[in-house]
Amino acid sequence: MRIEQFAAQQLPLANAGELSVFFIGAGSAFTKVMNQNNILVVKGEQHLLVDCGNKCTQALHELGLHAPDLHNLLVTHTHADHIGGLEEIMLMNRYMAGKKPNIVINERFQTILWEHSLRGGAAYSEVRDGQPLGFEDFWNPLRPHPVPDMPRETWGYRLGDLDLKMPRTMHFPNNAASWRDSFWSSAVIFDDRVLFTSDTRFDPGLTQTYDEIFDFELIFHDCQLFTGGVHASLEELTTLPERLRSKIVLMHYGDNWRNFERQALDAGFHSFARQGCCYRFPAP
Ligand SMILES: [Zn+2]
Ligand SMILES: [Zn+2]
């Protein structure tokens, strides 16, 4: 794996075939100095925007991309730093580009996303025969399938050459005993090589158990710089085995992360994810 700082005019949506993970941002939900923790994954001719927060379309604009340029999306849960940009993506696509982007989503999460979040800003853009618009007027859903023999509920989808596996996570509420009691949220595994936890509380049942199966090359892990609430804290992550810490890249961190950088490196973590950097994994 090598890390490259992006320097071109426009972020490319295709490459020669390696798996690449670009950090549009690595900041927490309330960051004021970074972009939110949204990534663009590219492999060959395929691209996938994973999460699109309320600051994401501005960030994409600064990377030379516009909402309709993105054909494939996946969102991990319904917090605004992960879905706040979807309304703009939907409306720009329908009313300016005249197309529907693909979204990797199962029927259950589609209902949650539409009914709890997206419907208010989009459904009554048009009324036909007394009926407002629905989710599938804006999106072309790509349906993942349950992956058998996984330690917990996991959904899988193959986007061209890019393999996706989405294990459920334990993000919120803060008193849920496990992923089973938590509201919908998921991590994403790319090509069985890289785990992107998205947002989760400390949950060794995800990180350790899946690493035993896949032996990840790198783990991008949610990291909160204090303990409590709905994210894994640096203190909690420090209790993971050294073997895991050494391949954990911390992400989704607060604006004061520099105050914790030494502590995290001394604790044996790989690094903090950096906004504007691309993590490239060559073909095996
Ligand atoms: Zn978040
Ligand atoms: Zn969240």
pLDDT along the chain (284 residues), means of 10: 90 96 98 98 98 98 96 98 98 97 98 98 96 98 98 98 98 96 98 98 97 98 96 98 98 98 98 97 92
Cα-based distances in Å from 254 to 51, 140, 200, 222, 226: 18, 34, 15, 11, 9
Report the candidate in 181, 155, 156, 154 with the shortest Cα–Cα distance to residue 170: 181
- Give the pLDDT confidence score for residue 8 in this predicted structure: 82
CA 284 / ligand 2 centre spacing (Å): 32
Q: Which ligand is nearest to the Cα of residue 52, counting in written order?
A: 1
DSSP string, 107-119: HHHHHHHIIIIIH
| Torsion angle of C-alpha atoms 52, 261, 248, 64, degrees rounded to 10 | 30
CA 199 / ligand 1 centre spacing (Å): 5
> Is 261 assigned a catalytic role?
no
CA 142 / ligand 2 centre spacing (Å): 23
Q: Which of 45, 62, 124, 126 is catalytic?
A: 124
d(CA 69, CA 89): 10
How far does the chain reach from its first CA to its final CA, in angstroms? 11
| Torsion angle of C-alpha atoms 109, 110, 112, 116, degrees rounded to 10 | 150
Query: Facing residues of 129 across strands?
Result: none
Q: Which domains does the chain have, with CATH numbers?
A: 2-281 (3.60.15.10)
Sheet order of strands, 72-74 included: 2-5, 277-281, 19-23, 39-43, 46-50, 72-74, 102-104, 140-142
d(CA 194, CA 214): 9
CA 65 / ligand 1 centre spacing (Å): 22
CA 129 / ligand 2 centre spacing (Å): 37
- Give the pLDDT confidence score for residue 240 in this predicted structure: 98
d(CA 184, CA 168): 7
- Give the pLDDT confidence score for residue 182 in this predicted structure: 98
Q: Which ligand is nearest to the Cα of residue 182, counting in written order?
A: 2
Q: Are 216 and 197 in contact (CB under 8 A)?
A: no
> Is 212 assigned a catalytic role?
no
Q: Is 42 helix (H, G, I), strand (E, B) or coil?
A: strand
d(CA 233, CA 252): 11
CA 83 / ligand 2 centre spacing (Å): 10
Q: Which ligand is nearest to the Cα of residue 230, counting in written order?
A: 2
Q: Which ligand is nearest to the Cα of residue 223, counting in written order?
A: 1
Cα-based distances in Å from 219 to 21, 38, 106, 174, 246: 12, 15, 24, 23, 9
CA 199 / ligand 2 centre spacing (Å): 5
